[in-house]
Amino acid sequence: MEITTSPADLHEQINSWKGIVNDVRGDVKMMRDRLEQTVLSNAPRDVMTKVEHFENRFLRQREVADEMYHDIKQCAKKISDSPSQVVHDDRPVDDFHTMQHRMQIFQKLYEELKDDFNRFMPCEV
For the segment 66-105, what is each residue's pLDDT rounded down to a tens digit? 999 999 988 888 877 765 544 444 444 456 778 889 999 9
Mean pLDDT of 44-61: 92
Query: What's the confidence (pLDDT) of residue 52?
Result: 92
Q: How confident is the model at residue 5 (pLDDT cuts 50, 70, 90)?
A: low
Q: How confident is the model at residue 19 (pLDDT cuts 50, 70, 90)?
A: very high
Cα 119 to Cα 45, 101, 115, 123: the distances in Å are 18, 27, 6, 7
Q: Which domain does 20 fall in, by range? A: 3-124
| Percent of all residues in the chain with a pLDDT value above 90, rounded to a whole number | 50
Query: What's the confidence (pLDDT) of residue 90?
Result: 41
Mean pLDDT of 2-30: 86
Indicate the pTM of the whole model.
0.78
Number of domains within the chain: 1
Query: What's the confidence (pLDDT) of residue 54?
Result: 95
**Is the C-alpha dihedral spanning 9, 14, 15, 20 positive or negative?**
positive
Query: What's the confidence (pLDDT) of residue 75?
Result: 84
Mean pLDDT of 28-47: 89
